[in-house]
Amino acid sequence: MSWLLVYPIVIPLMTAVLSYLFRNTPAGRWIAVAGTAALLLASLLLMADVLEHGVVVAQMSNWEAPFGITLAADLLGAVMVVITAITGMATVVYSLSDIPVRLERMGYYALLQILLMGVCGAFLTGDLFNLYVWFEVMLIASFGLLVLGGNREQLDGGIKYVMLNLVSTIMFLTGIGLLYGITGTLNMADLHLAVREVQNQGLLTTIAVMFMVAFGVKAALFPLFFWLPASYHTPPVAVSAIFAGLLTKVGVYSLIRCFTLIFDQDVGFTHTLLLWLAVITMVTGVLGAAAMNDFRRILSFHIISQIGYMVLGLAIFTPLGLMGAVFYLVHHIIVKANLFFVAGVAKRIGGSTDLSRLGGLYAHAPLLAFLFLIPAFSLAGFPPLSGFWAKYVVVKAALDLEMWIVAGISLVVGLLTIFSMTKIWGAAFWPAHPDGIKPRLSDLPMGDRLALMLPIICLAALTCIIGLFPEPFVQFAERSATQLLDPTEYITTVLGVQP
């Protein structure tokens, strides 16, 4: 039993309770900052423990697996919790300036903490039904955050987001019900053993596809992504940043977890299906982005295209492919959240996120322009930034299996990504502002400037560090991929027996 697994869930819960009770005073937001810092610390301790001792397991209420609820962290789970805490910290600091007091009084920080709790819970749980519960926790918090304030755009996008995510949830639940019906267990490690004894393998593949649809909606996989570009640009910037960074990645994480641990009995069908879905996702996402004319909407479509790369890594299903998927997952959360933060600052000083009503950012806010280029180039995959290594590993994995078409398409998608980034650069940063505004950072009050720029600078620095010193990160991703492909350690630790 390790309490380290419980902290990333309990700390946000308690922070949410306290910051909600103090929501009418400034104390509420500082409690949120302190709580998120504590979460970050707890996640780092968990990470250190996992690095040292391997898979860490906790049985809730002292019920032995597979009868009770198990929390378990392997390398992938631990790194996802760390990255969640980092993104959460950046978002909370950014919110200090971005979120008006009016929304704060409606319980903004409490909802944000509940969201973090749901995401951490989803990354740490070892039980399929419990995963469903964490998805719901995350979902209800995200519904609240998305429509908080309730202007027309938000409600419009919110309806589509809520409806389609509910369908995915119900699909997930159906899959759980059927899987329980044929195996009699919902513990993921136990399921790994149980699915091998199922007579009706065809039914199992059907259930696998059901899970694929459910997680596909969450991850915004083609053709299930329409809710994402409809809603992600409507809420306050801090909210869309954390959504863009974390929420879809929970879907990808669940795909990786389920399709390595449970559904690896019919790889020829399921993973080939995933492969082509991933490729089409990449292409549609990047083409959608090319057609957009709004800073945040371009970025929203790019999430979809990048999801394609991660799922591609999973679908290739070699150690190198999975390693790429893990690396991409971590890199993309940092970069995407950062780009949304930059879009928020551009809106703040330039007055809009519509590219035709922006301009002059390079001339008047060169620091912001520089900080935009780092994540933008990283997203497109320029060396020596983190995105280069992520893309390199995924494409290399595809080439190793002689998937020339797939590798070719992912390289072309990379090129098109550069096209949209230059489009943003060419409209928002390079020319003069159409309304003659001079968007200066120095026009913002000191406190706002600090709260807005600090997260951007830190995340950009993180991108550079991963890019310049990729060795430890690559090794980590490699170990994590090995662990995913050979889950013996995970299973023995969870069940406490030799499989």
Partner 1 sequence: MQSLILTTTTRLLAALLLMFSVYALLRGHNLPGGGFIGGLIGATAFILYTIATSEIEARRALRVGPSNIAVVGLGIAGLAGLSAGLAGEPFFTGQWLFLFAEDGGKGLPLSTVLVFDIGVYLAVFGGILTLVFALEEEI
Partner 2 sequence: MELLLAITIGIVVATSVYLMLDRNALRFLFGLVLLSNAVNLIIFAGGRLTVGAPPLIPDGAYAPVGVVANALPQALVLTAIVIGFGLLAFTLALVYRTFMTLGTVNSDEMRIAEPRDKRELDTGRLGMGKADPEHPATGQEAGI
Question: In this chain, which of 6, 13, 44, 133 binds partner 2, going by CB under 8 A?
Answer: 133
Going from the C-alpha of 463 to that of each of 171, 308, 373, 374, the distances in angstroms are: 36, 20, 11, 8
Q: Which stretch binds partner 1 (CB under 8 A): 52-60, 181-189, 224-232, 373-381?
A: 52-60
Residue pair 207/253 in contact (Cβ under 8 Å)? The answer is no
Question: In this chain, which of 356, 442, 475, 488 binds partner 2, going by CB under 8 A?
Answer: 356
The answer to the question of residue 155 lying near partner 2 (CB under 8 A) is: yes
In sequence order, which residues have a C-beta less than 8 Å from that of residue 350 and are 6 or more positions away? 357, 358, 359, 360, 361, 428, 433, 437, 439
Q: Which stretch binds partner 1 (CB under 8 A): 57-65, 90-98, 124-132, 313-321?
A: 57-65
Cβ of 300: how many Cβ atoms within 10 Å?
28
Residue identified by tokens 């500082």 is 30
Reduce the DSSP state of residue 385 to 3 states and report it.
coil
**Distance of closest approach, residue 66 Cβ to partner 1, in angstroms:** 16
Residue 150 contact, options partner 1, partner 2, none, Cβ 5-8 Å cut-off depending on partner type: partner 2
Residue pair 59/70 in contact (Cβ under 8 Å)? The answer is yes
**Distance of closest approach, residue 162 Cβ to partner 2, in angstroms:** 6
**Distance of closest approach, residue 256 Cβ to partner 1, in angstroms:** 26
Reduce the DSSP state of residue 318 to 3 states and report it.
coil
For the record, the structure tokens of 15 come out as 């922070």
CB burial of residue 55 (10 Å; 0-12, 13-18, 19+): buried
**Distance of closest approach, residue 274 Cβ to partner 1, in angstroms:** 35
Among the listed residues 85, 103, 98, the one whose alpha carbon sits nearest the alpha carbon of residue 15: 85
The answer to the question of residue 67 lying near partner 1 (CB under 8 A) is: no
Distance of CA 183 to the CA centre of its chain: 30
The answer to the question of residue 180 lying near partner 2 (CB under 8 A) is: yes
- Closest to partner 2 by CB, 161 or 389: 161
The answer to the question of residue 213 lying near partner 1 (CB under 8 A) is: no
Within 277-296, the residues that bind partner 2 by CB under 8 A are 288, 291-294
- Closest to partner 1 by CB, 10 or 363: 10
Within 4-43, the residues that bind partner 1 by CB under 8 A are 6, 10, 13-14, 16-18, 20-21
Binding mask 79-118 for partner 1 (x = CB under 8 A): ----------------------------x--x--------
Going from the C-alpha of 133 to that of each of 121, 127, 211, 297, 364, the distances in angstroms are: 9, 10, 15, 30, 48
The whole-angstrom separation of Cα 324 and Cα 244 is 20
Residue 454 contact, options partner 1, partner 2, none, Cβ 5-8 Å cut-off depending on partner type: none
Question: In this chain, which of 22, 129, 392, 425 binds partner 2, going by CB under 8 A?
Answer: 129
The whole-angstrom separation of Cα 452 and Cα 444 is 10
Cβ of 62: how many Cβ atoms within 10 Å?
7
The answer to the question of residue 136 lying near partner 2 (CB under 8 A) is: yes
The whole-angstrom separation of Cα 382 and Cα 390 is 10
The answer to the question of residue 159 lying near partner 1 (CB under 8 A) is: no
Cβ of 160: how many Cβ atoms within 10 Å?
15
Binding mask 221-260 for partner 2 (x = CB under 8 A): --------xxx-xx--------------------------
**Distance of closest approach, residue 89 Cβ to partner 2, in angstroms:** 27
Reduce the DSSP state of residue 70 to 3 states and report it.
strand
- Closest to partner 2 by CB, 206 or 356: 356
Question: In this chain, which of 60, 178, 213, 399 binds partner 2, going by CB under 8 A?
Answer: 178
**Distance of closest approach, residue 227 Cβ to partner 1, in angstroms:** 24
The answer to the question of residue 174 lying near partner 2 (CB under 8 A) is: yes
Reduce the DSSP state of residue 73 to 3 states and report it.
strand
To 5 degrees, how large is the angle CA 76–CA 229–CA 240?
60
The answer to the question of residue 1 lying near partner 1 (CB under 8 A) is: yes
**Distance of closest approach, residue 298 Cβ to partner 2, in angstroms:** 11
- Closest to partner 1 by CB, 8 or 251: 8
Going from the C-alpha of 316 to that of each of 62, 134, 274, 322, the distances in angstroms are: 39, 28, 9, 8
Torsion over CA of 340, 26, 117 and 481, rounded to 10 degrees?
A: 40
Task: Give the binding site for partner 1 (CB under 8 A).
Answer: 1, 3, 6, 10, 13-14, 16-18, 20-21, 58-62, 107, 110
Task: Give the binding site for partner 2 (CB under 8 A).
Answer: 106, 129, 132-133, 136, 139-140, 143, 147-160, 162-163, 166-167, 169-170, 173-174, 176-178, 180-182, 229-231, 233-234, 288, 291-294, 354-356
